[in-house]
Structure 1
Protein backbone atom coordinates (compact mmCIF):
# COMPACT_ATOMS: atom_id res chain seq x y z
CA UNK A 1 0.00 0.00 0.00
CA UNK A 2 1.26 3.44 -0.86
CA UNK A 3 0.67 6.01 1.84
CA UNK A 4 -1.81 8.70 0.91
CA UNK A 5 -2.07 12.21 2.34
CA UNK A 6 -4.67 12.64 5.06
CA UNK A 7 -8.01 14.16 4.06
CA UNK A 8 -10.86 15.32 6.27
CA UNK A 9 -10.43 15.01 10.02
CA UNK A 10 -6.82 14.09 10.81
CA UNK A 11 -7.93 11.99 13.79
CA UNK A 12 -10.50 9.97 11.82
CA UNK A 13 -9.51 6.32 12.32
CA UNK A 14 -10.37 5.46 8.70
CA UNK A 15 -8.10 8.26 7.46
CA UNK A 16 -5.30 7.18 9.78
CA UNK A 17 -5.59 3.58 8.59
CA UNK A 18 -5.62 4.67 4.95
CA UNK A 19 -2.44 6.76 5.38
CA UNK A 20 -0.63 4.30 7.62
CA UNK A 21 1.74 1.80 5.97
CA UNK A 22 0.26 -1.70 6.16
CA UNK A 23 2.91 -3.00 8.56
CA UNK A 24 1.43 -0.74 11.27
CA UNK A 25 -2.26 -1.60 10.74
CA UNK A 26 -2.45 -4.38 13.32
CA UNK A 27 -0.86 -2.32 16.08
CA UNK A 28 -3.02 0.71 15.29
CA UNK A 29 -6.23 -1.34 15.27
CA UNK A 30 -5.33 -3.04 18.53
CA UNK A 31 -4.65 0.26 20.31
CA UNK A 32 -7.68 1.89 18.72
CA UNK A 33 -10.05 -0.90 19.79
CA UNK A 34 -8.66 -0.85 23.34
CA UNK A 35 -9.12 2.91 23.56
CA UNK A 36 -12.58 2.66 22.01
CA UNK A 37 -13.61 0.10 24.62
CA UNK A 38 -12.22 2.30 27.39
CA UNK A 39 -14.14 5.29 26.02
CA UNK A 40 -17.40 3.67 27.13
CA UNK A 41 -16.46 5.18 30.48
CA UNK A 42 -17.10 8.88 29.96
CA UNK A 43 -14.09 9.91 32.04
CA UNK A 44 -11.82 7.89 29.70
CA UNK A 45 -13.02 9.40 26.42
CA UNK A 46 -9.95 11.63 26.28
CA UNK A 47 -7.82 8.48 26.04
CA UNK A 48 -9.46 7.64 22.70
CA UNK A 49 -8.79 11.14 21.39
CA UNK A 50 -5.14 10.90 22.47
CA UNK A 51 -4.66 7.51 20.80
CA UNK A 52 -6.13 8.82 17.56
CA UNK A 53 -4.00 11.97 17.68
CA UNK A 54 -0.79 10.03 18.35
CA UNK A 55 -1.56 7.60 15.53
CA UNK A 56 -2.31 10.49 13.18
CA UNK A 57 1.17 11.85 13.91
CA UNK A 58 2.67 8.39 13.46
CA UNK A 59 0.87 7.94 10.13
CA UNK A 60 2.38 11.18 8.89
CA UNK A 61 5.86 10.13 10.04
CA UNK A 62 5.72 6.46 9.03
CA UNK A 63 4.40 7.24 5.55
CA UNK A 64 7.34 9.57 4.87
CA UNK A 65 9.76 7.69 2.58
CA UNK A 66 12.73 8.98 4.58
CA UNK A 67 11.34 7.90 7.97
CA UNK A 68 13.02 4.51 8.28
CA UNK A 69 16.40 5.89 7.26
CA UNK A 70 16.09 8.70 9.82
CA UNK A 71 14.97 6.27 12.55
CA UNK A 72 17.98 4.07 11.82
CA UNK A 73 20.28 7.10 12.12
CA UNK A 74 18.83 7.80 15.56
CA UNK A 75 19.17 4.15 16.67
CA UNK A 76 22.80 4.20 15.57
CA UNK A 77 23.38 7.59 17.21
CA UNK A 78 24.54 9.12 13.93
CA UNK A 79 23.99 12.62 15.28
CA UNK A 80 25.44 14.25 12.18
CA UNK A 81 22.33 13.07 10.27
CA UNK A 82 19.65 14.62 12.49
CA UNK A 83 18.98 17.64 14.64
CA UNK A 84 18.45 16.79 18.32
CA UNK A 85 15.11 17.91 19.75
CA UNK A 86 16.72 20.21 22.29
CA UNK A 87 18.15 22.26 19.40
CA UNK A 88 14.75 23.01 17.85
CA UNK A 89 12.23 22.74 20.70
CA UNK A 90 12.64 25.38 23.39
CA UNK A 91 12.69 23.82 26.85
CA UNK A 92 13.01 20.24 25.58
CA UNK A 93 16.01 19.47 27.80
CA UNK A 94 14.02 20.62 30.86
CA UNK A 95 11.29 18.04 30.15
CA UNK A 96 13.60 15.10 30.72
Structure 2
Protein backbone atom coordinates (compact mmCIF):
# COMPACT_ATOMS: atom_id res chain seq x y z
CA UNK A 1 0.00 0.00 0.00
CA UNK A 2 1.38 3.36 -1.02
CA UNK A 3 1.44 6.08 1.62
CA UNK A 4 0.75 9.68 0.80
CA UNK A 5 3.40 12.11 2.06
CA UNK A 6 1.76 14.77 4.21
CA UNK A 7 4.64 16.80 5.63
CA UNK A 8 6.61 19.40 3.76
CA UNK A 9 9.82 17.44 4.26
CA UNK A 10 8.35 14.17 2.95
CA UNK A 11 6.71 15.90 -0.01
CA UNK A 12 9.93 17.65 -0.98
CA UNK A 13 11.88 14.41 -0.71
CA UNK A 14 9.52 12.67 -3.14
CA UNK A 15 9.07 15.49 -5.64
CA UNK A 16 11.19 15.60 -8.77
CA UNK A 17 13.75 18.41 -8.69
CA UNK A 18 11.83 20.38 -11.32
CA UNK A 19 8.92 20.82 -8.87
CA UNK A 20 10.97 21.93 -5.85
CA UNK A 21 11.00 25.70 -6.44
CA UNK A 22 7.23 25.95 -6.90
CA UNK A 23 6.50 23.77 -3.89
CA UNK A 24 8.91 25.67 -1.65
CA UNK A 25 7.49 29.02 -2.73
CA UNK A 26 3.91 27.96 -2.02
CA UNK A 27 4.84 26.20 1.23
CA UNK A 28 6.82 29.13 2.63
CA UNK A 29 4.07 31.58 1.73
CA UNK A 30 1.40 29.43 3.40
CA UNK A 31 3.57 28.68 6.46
CA UNK A 32 4.32 32.37 7.00
CA UNK A 33 0.64 33.24 6.70
CA UNK A 34 -0.24 30.49 9.19
CA UNK A 35 2.40 31.75 11.60
CA UNK A 36 0.73 35.18 11.70
CA UNK A 37 -2.92 34.12 11.57
CA UNK A 38 -3.68 30.77 13.17
CA UNK A 39 -6.88 30.28 11.16
CA UNK A 40 -4.70 29.99 8.05
CA UNK A 41 -3.28 26.71 9.36
CA UNK A 42 -6.11 24.91 7.56
CA UNK A 43 -4.95 26.51 4.32
CA UNK A 44 -1.44 25.20 4.96
CA UNK A 45 -2.84 21.71 5.56
CA UNK A 46 -4.87 21.93 2.33
CA UNK A 47 -1.74 22.99 0.42
CA UNK A 48 0.19 20.01 1.81
CA UNK A 49 -2.64 17.70 0.81
CA UNK A 50 -2.72 19.08 -2.75
CA UNK A 51 1.03 18.68 -3.08
CA UNK A 52 0.85 15.14 -1.70
CA UNK A 53 -1.44 14.35 -4.63
CA UNK A 54 1.01 16.03 -7.01
CA UNK A 55 3.72 13.70 -5.68
CA UNK A 56 1.63 10.70 -6.67
CA UNK A 57 0.84 12.11 -10.13
CA UNK A 58 4.32 13.26 -11.13
CA UNK A 59 5.85 9.95 -10.12
CA UNK A 60 3.67 8.01 -12.54
CA UNK A 61 5.62 6.77 -15.59
CA UNK A 62 5.01 9.05 -18.57
CA UNK A 63 3.38 11.85 -16.56
CA UNK A 64 5.43 14.71 -17.99
CA UNK A 65 5.24 13.33 -21.52
CA UNK A 66 1.45 13.06 -21.27
CA UNK A 67 1.30 16.59 -19.86
CA UNK A 68 3.38 17.93 -22.76
CA UNK A 69 1.14 16.11 -25.26
CA UNK A 70 -1.98 17.52 -23.64
CA UNK A 71 -0.58 21.05 -23.74
CA UNK A 72 0.24 20.58 -27.43
CA UNK A 73 -3.23 19.17 -28.16
CA UNK A 74 -1.75 15.79 -29.03
CA UNK A 75 -2.05 12.28 -27.62
CA UNK A 76 -5.09 10.31 -26.57
CA UNK A 77 -8.27 12.19 -25.83
CA UNK A 78 -11.11 11.17 -23.61
CA UNK A 79 -14.60 12.52 -23.36
CA UNK A 80 -15.08 13.79 -19.82
CA UNK A 81 -18.44 12.09 -19.32
CA UNK A 82 -17.10 8.78 -20.66
CA UNK A 83 -14.08 8.98 -18.36
CA UNK A 84 -16.31 9.57 -15.33
CA UNK A 85 -18.62 6.74 -16.33
CA UNK A 86 -15.68 4.39 -16.80
CA UNK A 87 -14.29 5.39 -13.41
CA UNK A 88 -17.58 4.65 -11.65
CA UNK A 89 -17.87 1.23 -13.33
CA UNK A 90 -14.57 0.02 -11.82
CA UNK A 91 -14.92 -2.63 -9.12
TM-score range, shorter chain: 0.7 to 0.9
- Higher RCO structure (Cα 8 Å, ≥6 apart): 2
User: Alpha carbons of 1:13 and 1:82: their partners in 2 closer, same or farther (altered >3 Å)?
Assistant: farther
Structure 1 residue 55: deviation in Å?
A: 0.9
Which residue does the alignment assign to 2:88?
A: none
Q: Does 1:24 align with 2:35?
A: no
Residue pair 1:32, 1:48 contacting (<8 A) in 2 also: yes
CA shift, 1:84, in A, is 4.5
The answer to whether the aligner puts 1:46 opposite 2:42 as a matched pair is: yes
Counterpart CA distance in 1 for 2:79 and 2:71 is: 13
Unmatched segments (≥5 aa) in structure 2: 86-91
TM-score, structure 2 length as denominator?
Answer: 0.75
The equivalent position to 1:89 in structure 2, one of 64, 78, 84, is 84
Larger helix proportion, structure 1 or 2? 2
Matched length: 83
TM-score of the aligned structures, taking structure 1 as reference length: 0.71
**Structure 1 runs, 4 residues or longer, greater than 6 Å off:** none
